[in-house]
Amino acid sequence: MSVQLENRHLIYAMAPDNPPALRVQAGSTIEVHTCDCFEDQIQSETQDFGTLDWERINPATGPIYVEGAEPGDLLVVHIREIRLRDRGVMTTGPGLGVFGDELVQNVIRIVPVVDGHAVLNDRVRVPLRPMIGVIGTAPAEGRVPCGTPGDHGGNMDCTRITTGARLILPVNVPGALFALGDLHAAMGDGEVAVCGVEIGGTVTVSLHVLKGRDWPAPMLVNDEAVMTIASAPLLDDAATLAAKRMVSWLERECGLGKADAAFLLSAAGQLRICQVVDPLKTARMEVPRGIVEALGFSFPY
pTM: 0.97
What is the chain's percent helix, strand, coil content, to nearest 5?
A: 15, 40, 45
In terms of Cα–Cα distance, which of 44, 146, 32, 154 is closest to 89? Answer: 44
Residue-level pLDDT at 49: 78
pLDDT mean values, one per 10 residues, the chain (301 residues)? 93 98 98 97 89 91 98 98 98 93 94 98 97 98 98 98 98 98 98 97 98 96 98 98 98 97 98 97 98 94 85
In the chain, alpha helices (H): 235-254, 258-268, 289-294
In terms of Cα–Cα distance, which of 281, 14, 289 is closest to 157? Answer: 281
Domains of the chain from N-terminus onward: 3-210 (2.60.120.580), 222-294 (3.10.28.20)
In terms of Cα–Cα distance, which of 141, 165, 142, 139 is closest to 153? Answer: 139
End-to-end CA distance of the chain: 19
